[in-house]
Structure 1
Amino acid sequence: MKIKELLFGPIPKQTESEYAELDLSQYEEVIEPEPAETYIRVAELSNLDGIADLKKEIYEGNIVVVDISAIKRDQMMLERALQDLHDVVSDVGGDIAGLDDDLVITTPTGIKIDRSRIGGR
C-alpha cells in the first residue's frame, strides 16, 4: 500500500466517463502577426446596421462566421440580413451556408463550402 493511500484512504480510479477539463491556452498563443490573404472573422449580428461591416469583410476576401442568434426572433430582419449576405457572396462568387441554428458562414471568391461531413454521422 502506498503512503498516500495510508494517509488519505483508497484513491478512486478515474473512469473515461468522468469529465476532464482541458487547458487549451497553450494552443491559443498569439503568434507574431503576419499579413494573410484571407482571414476568418467572427461576427455577431444584432441589427441590420452590422450588415455593412460584414459585406466589407466579404468583399475584402475574408471568411466570415456570423452569429445570428440575436436577430432570429425578428423573421423579417433575419430574412433581410440573410438575403443581403447571399447577394454579396453571389456578387463575389463566394458561398454561404448555415453551420447550425445560430451560425452562418460566408466565403469570398474561390472558396466553396462542402456541405458533407467528415466522419461522424
Structure 2
Amino acid sequence: MLRKPFARNREDVQTVETDQYIDLGAMHFDDDSIAGTRGAVKLAEIYRYEDISEITQPVYDGSTVIIDYAAVANDTDTLRRVTSELKAVARDCNGDVAAIGHDLIVVTPRGLKIDRNKIKGGFH
C-alpha cells in the first residue's frame, strides 16, 4: 500500500479537551513566601487616595510596585494627588516612577531606574 509521507496513523493523534484549564491563582509553591523580600515586584490597585501609604511602603522596603490606577483614572484631582505622592516617594527613595500603558504606574526603589525606550520585537 502507498501511504502519504506526512499522514499520521489514528493511534498517533492525541486529542486535547478544550474544557480543561489551569487556575494559576490556586497554584501554590513551597518557596512562595515573598513577604518582606527585598527586590520583589509587587502589584497593587488603588481605589482612593488614602490607599497610597499602604501601596508605597513596599517601595521604601526595596520592592518595585506596579500600580493599576484604573479606578481613579477619571477623577483628575485624585489622580493628580496620587501621581504627586508617587513622585515624592521615588524622590525620597532615590528611585524612579513612570506611567506604562493606559492605567499602570511603576515605582522603583533605590538603584533601579526605568528605561523609557520600548523593546520592539518582530517587524519594525
The verdict on how the C-alpha distance between 1:93 and 1:3 changes in structure 2, with shifts beyond 3 A counting, is closer
Q: Which runs of 4+ in 1 moved over 4 A?
A: 1-4, 22-25
The Cα shift of 1:24 comes to 9.0
**The residue matched to 2:115 in structure 1 has which SS?**
coil
CA contact (8 A) 2:60 2:109 kept: yes
Aligned residues between the structures = 103
Rounded Cα–Cα distance in structure 2 between residues aligned with 1:87 and 1:56: 13
TM-score (norm. length: structure 2): 0.71
2:105 alignment partner in structure 1: 104
TM-score (norm. length: structure 1): 0.73
Taking every aligned residue pair, what percent have the same amino acid on both sides? 27
The Cα shift of 1:118 comes to 1.8
1:92 alignment partner in structure 2: 93
CA RMSD for the aligned pairs?
A: 2.7
The Cα shift of 1:33 comes to 3.6
1:19 alignment partner in structure 2: none
Rounded Cα–Cα distance in structure 1 between residues aligned with 2:84 and 2:40: 23
What CA deviation, in whole Å up to 9, does each residue of 1:65-111 have, x standing for no partner? 00000001110000000000000101110000111110000000000
Rounded Cα–Cα distance in structure 2 between residues aligned with 1:3 and 1:58: 58
